[in-house]
Amino acid sequence: MQRRSRRVQCAAGKTSRILGRSSLKSFIAAALLVPAIAAPAAAQGNDLASVQRYLKAITTMTADFSQTDRNGQVLTGTLTWKQPGNIRFQYQKGVPTLIVAEGGALTFIDYSVKQVQRWPIRNSPLGVLLDPNRDLSQFAKVVPGDPRLVSVEARDPKHPEYGRITLVLARDAAAPAGMTLQGWVALDSQNNRTTVRLSNQRYGAPVASNAFRWTDPRPTTRR
């Protein structure tokens, strides 16, 4: 039990990346377990436009997530997403960390050491999800692969320090814009890779405005 607690604490210390050892190729294979098939260039352009429509069509989404870091450590939790610009990663019981995006900032709270870190959402790979009005064609491209999936790699060539993210979406006629987000693979500027897989995605449910509030653990300020 003590050994398990140390593993969870170690993994919790790495959740600020939000973003393993799992590669994009293995993620895509796990999603449908089928061989990759390259799509024509025209279809790739259409897919990028479809992803843009998907991001604009989202009002709210909730899901379960599984996060794997570069050491193969796995954490789970629930995700709450509300456009534009709001997301919350509530980790499993026993992990004293929380990640929230609201008000243009991405905040990492570590309750075990009473530490808070904040940075602009636009400086994070998650910015591609949280600003649906950004023109994907200016900084993203479709990664060829299985035709039942759409993988989009996004990065800012002017700011490599922001890292890059590859979104993986499945074609789903019942979901907004005919797609549903399966997860993503993120690589930060230090080449730390994190894989996030989503399940039980639910769209359009009411999300309270206070869902993205958080309690500041620092002794002088409360939020």
Query: pLDDT (tens digit, 9 = 90+) per residue, 76-102?
Result: 999 999 999 999 999 999 999 999 999
Q: Is 51 helix (H, G, I), strand (E, B) or coil?
A: helix
Residue 13 has pLDDT above 70, yes or no: no
Identify the pLDDT of residue 188.
Answer: 81
Identify the pLDDT of residue 127.
Answer: 87
Identify the pLDDT of residue 17.
Answer: 52
Measure Cα distances from 42 to 22, 50, 53, 120, 166 in Å. Answer: 30, 12, 17, 34, 20
Rounded CA separation 113/194 (Å):
23
Question: Is the model more confident about 211 or about 158?
Answer: 211
Mean pLDDT of 130-157: 89
E-strand spans in the chain? 60-68, 74-82, 86-91, 97-102, 105-110, 115-120, 140-143, 149-155, 164-171, 179-187, 193-203
One-letter amino acid identity for 60?
A: T
Average pLDDT over all residues of the chain: 82
Residue 36 has pLDDT above 90, yes or no: no
Residue 1 has pLDDT above 60, yes or no: no
Mean pLDDT of 5-32: 42
Mean pLDDT of 131-153: 90
Per-residue pLDDT band for 2 (boundaries 50, 70, 90) equals very low
Residue 4 has pLDDT above 60, yes or no: no
The angle formed by the CA atoms of residues 204, 122 and 81, to the nearest 5 degrees, is: 15
The percentage of residues in the chain with a pLDDT greater than 70, rounded to a whole number, is 78
Token pair 């909730």 in the structure block, residue: 62
Burial 61-97 (b: 16+ CB within 10 A, else e): bbbebebbbbeebbbebebbbbbebbbbbbbeeebbb
Residue 33 has pLDDT above 60, yes or no: no
